[in-house]
Amino acid sequence: MKIARGFRNFAGEHCATTALRQVFACHGIKLSEEMLLGLGEGIGFELRTGKKGGLPTLGMRGAGLLELESNVCGRLSIQVKLLSSKSRKSAEKDLLKILAKDEAAVVYVDVTKLPYAEQGDFCHMGAHALAVAGVDLDEGNYMVADTDEPFHRVSLDDLARARSAVPAPQLPENALLRFTYPKTLAPIAVAIETAASRVAGKMLGSKDSNAGVMGITRFAEVLPSWPDELGINETREALVAAAGFIEESGNGGGGFRKMYGRFLGEASRMLKDPEVASLASSVTGLARKWSTLASKLKSTKVKDIPGKLGSIQKKIVEIAESEGSAWERQKAIFD
């Protein structure tokens, strides 16, 4: 099976940044997954209240579906177009056209529909991004690269089913990204500075009381009401789910803060700025605090909930204060 020229099968932490990194490598764009996360404004916070009896959830990524990819491409002067179709046949044609040009493609799937997902630890929330690196029409297989290291041979039918499934939140059916690359990328230093400034502004200045630093404070405020509003058993489920959003869900741990700290560390070396290096250390510290919180949430048993919510609330308040300080520093550095 022929693989797209220059394709690199990198293992990664997060599906969207891994897929972009793999596909960009075909054009000699050698950016780390962490750099792509930073350029995409891929860090944030949102407390999502449960609807129709659902449990509250946490969003730890700042950019929404396709927003991260759009941010990255815009900052690098790469043109990106979303292709979608309700027809599996048309969607397959779009994909095969890209592969025929010796290019790799980013597609979006419900990964639970793919056979290899049973053997790996994959994020099953919403639309999962992966890279298609080649196709063998005689065998009827694609060569797919995901966040784990090995290539996966996926049949044309299996990928078609996964692409046309309706995940939640929903992307356009059979979503596929097509890239047009410039002769020269936009200056990376400017891209870093504008992206970092935007992240700090959103974390500090969100008008939504459930988002940004305000949202973390709101999380602390509403947590004690969960047993009365949800019920004690459902509160346990919500705590475990919140731990998963913080420490798992394909975010590299600490609610993307661990990855973002590495982005800032890389940025400090490129910009030769010791203040950014110090900020990187602070954000890495935030990651550890979030990970500690996740451990507390996950380990809280039903019988311990009444006695432990107070200490958990205190930990969230501490995190909100630390987040506010970190993003104020980032704003001062990059504005």
Q: What are the tens digits of pLDDT across the range 128-168?
A: 999 999 999 999 999 999 999 889 999 999 999 999 987 76
Task: Assess whether 138 and 274 both reside in one domain.
Answer: no
For residue 74, pLDDT over 70 is answered with yes
User: Tokens representing 262?
Assistant: 């590495």
Task: Assess whether 193 and 218 both reside in one domain.
Answer: yes
Mean pLDDT computed over 175-183: 95
Q: Give me the sign of the Cα torsion angle 300, 215, 263, 74.
A: positive
Task: Assess whether 95 and 193 both reside in one domain.
Answer: no
For residue 33, pLDDT over 80 is answered with yes
pLDDT of residue 54: 77
- Asked whether 42 and 62 are in contact (CB, 8 A), the reply is yes
Mean pLDDT computed over 38-51: 92
Question: How far apart are the C-alpha atoms of 11 and 15, rounded to whole Å?
Answer: 10
- Domain extent, residue 157, equals 15-30+79-180
Confidence of residue 125 (pLDDT cuts 50, 70, 90): low
Contacts of 90 (CB under 8 A, 6+ apart): 174
Residue 215's H or E segment, with its range, is: helix 212-222
State the CATH number of the domain containing residue 131.
Answer: 3.90.70.30
Task: Assess whether 257 and 112 both reside in one domain.
Answer: no
Task: Assess whether 19 and 161 both reside in one domain.
Answer: yes
Task: Assess whether 325 and 200 both reside in one domain.
Answer: yes
Task: Assess whether 194 and 108 both reside in one domain.
Answer: no
Round the average pLDDT of the chain to a whole number and report it. 94
Residue 211: beta bridge partners? 46
Q: What are the tens digits of pLDDT across the range 254-313?
A: 999 999 999 999 999 999 999 999 999 999 999 999 999 999 999 999 999 999 999 999
Residue corresponding to tokens 């940025």: 267
**More confidently predicted of 10 and 50:** 10
Task: Assess whether 84 and 109 both reside in one domain.
Answer: yes
Confidence of residue 72 (pLDDT cuts 50, 70, 90): very high
Q: Kindly state whether residue 259 falls inside one of the protein's structural domains.
A: yes
3-state per-residue secondary structure call for 8-64: CCCCCCCHHHHHHHHHHHHHCCCCCHHHHHHHCCCCCCEEECCCCCCCCEEECCCCC
pTM of this structure: 0.95
The tally of domains found in the chain comes to: 2
* Number of other residues whose CB lies within 10 A of the CB of residue 189: 12
Q: Kindly state whether residue 37 falls inside one of the protein's structural domains.
A: no
pLDDT of residue 103: 94
- Classify residue 314 by burial, with Cβ atoms within 10 Å: 0-12, 13-18, 19+: exposed
The CA-based angle 35-67-97, given to 5 degrees, is 90
- Classify residue 22 by burial, with Cβ atoms within 10 Å: 0-12, 13-18, 19+: buried
